[in-house]
Structure 1
């Protein structure tokens, strides 16, 4: 990487870090050009050069952290010896990510990220396909072995991740008196029951 490319990459990183800071402190409405340039110390021109717009920057931030969450979940599937242990591992991994990265998780579970997902579903799916593939393949392997109900992939993913995402949203909004570690203890068995053949 040339010095110019390295400086460009560092500038983009500063902008992404600043966007998360501003979003965490002021919410979606606080993510303005002036707040981003002030927090990052980067010029307006650099913001537009690297991301095209504030929305482009926020989209890149969502995609970055979605990728990291999916990588974390993929790593959780590497060790389980059976389907039930795998479900427990996925739930623990998801909720530990939420617990350890609450600002990032708040962004991923926000109305902003939901809108982005609806507006750019195809692009996001294509960008994340390689990362989602291990979860889908893992589920399909246990369906083929008869350990998990033979249901369409999207239904299986909803049964596994739906309750976890629902809990995470409530906890991140402060609406749950249950800690992520307690939910990680309780949810796997209930999810497993919905997947049994």
Structure 2
């Protein structure tokens, strides 16, 4: 990497980190051009050079943390021997991400993040393909072995992550009637029953 490329990465990181701090403190309305440049110490021209717009910055920030969440899930999954253990690991990793990175988790689960990612659907899917492929490569042998029900991969993903995402969104919305540790203890077994080949 050339010194110029390195400086560019450092500048991008400063802007992204500042945007996340501001989002965590004040929500999206707190992420203004003025606040980002002041907090990061980076010039307005550099922000537009690297991201094109404030929305471009927020899109890049959403993609960064969505990618990190997916990487955390893959790491958890690939460390598990059985499909049942894999479900427990994925649920635990997802809810740990929500607990450990509340600002990033709030951003990733926000309606505006949904809109941004949907607007760039194909591009986002292509960027996430290695992670999705890693999940598929892990689960396919468990399907072939009769451990997991032979369902289409999108349905398996919905059955596994749907309940976890719902708990995360509920918690991030400010509702405190769900304890993340309790959810991490209860959900895996319930989810496992929905995807196991024998339903047990």
TM over 0.5: yes
Quote how far apart the aligned CAs of 1:72 are.
0.7
- The answer for the alignment partner of 1:192 in structure 2 is 192
> How far off its partner does 1:23 sit?
1.2
Q: Which runs of 5+ in 2 are unaligned?
A: none
**SS in structure 1 at match of 2:78:** coil
Aligned counterparts of 2:130 and 2:21: Cα–Cα separation in 1? 28
The match for 1:167 is 167
Matched with 1:37 is: 37
Contact 2:15 2:40 in 1 (8 A): yes
Deviation of 1:196 after TM superposition, in Å, equals 1.9
Distance 1:124 1:3 in 2: 29
1:7: how far off? 2.1
Task: Please give the per-residue CA displacement for 1:57-93, whole angstroms capped at 9, x wherever unaligned.
Answer: 1111111111111111111112222111111111111
What residue is the counterpart of 1:2 in the other structure?
A: 2
- 1:55 matched to which residue of 2? 55
Q: 1:154 maps to what in 2?
A: 154
TM-score (normalised: structure 2): 0.94
Q: Measure the CA separation in 1 of the matches of 2:23 and 2:79.
A: 35
Match of 1:117 in 2: 117
Q: Which moved more, 1:59-68 or 1:134-143?
A: 134-143
CA distance in structure 1 between the partners assigned to 2:14 and 2:177 by the alignment: 35
C-alpha distance in 1, partners of 2:167/2:77?
21
- Secondary structure at 2:127's aligned position in 1? helix
Secondary structure class of the residue paired with 1:77: helix
Cα-to-partner distance string for 1:114-154 (whole Å, 9 max, x where unaligned): 11121111111001110121112222221111111111110
Cα distance in structure 1, aligned partners of 2:80 and 2:5: 41
89-98 or 133-142, which moves further after superposition? 133-142
Conserved? CA contact 1:140–1:153, under 8 Å? no
Residues of 2 paired with 1:176 and 1:156: CA distance?
28
Aligned residues: 197
Q: Could you say which residue in structure 1 is the equivalent of 2:46?
A: 46
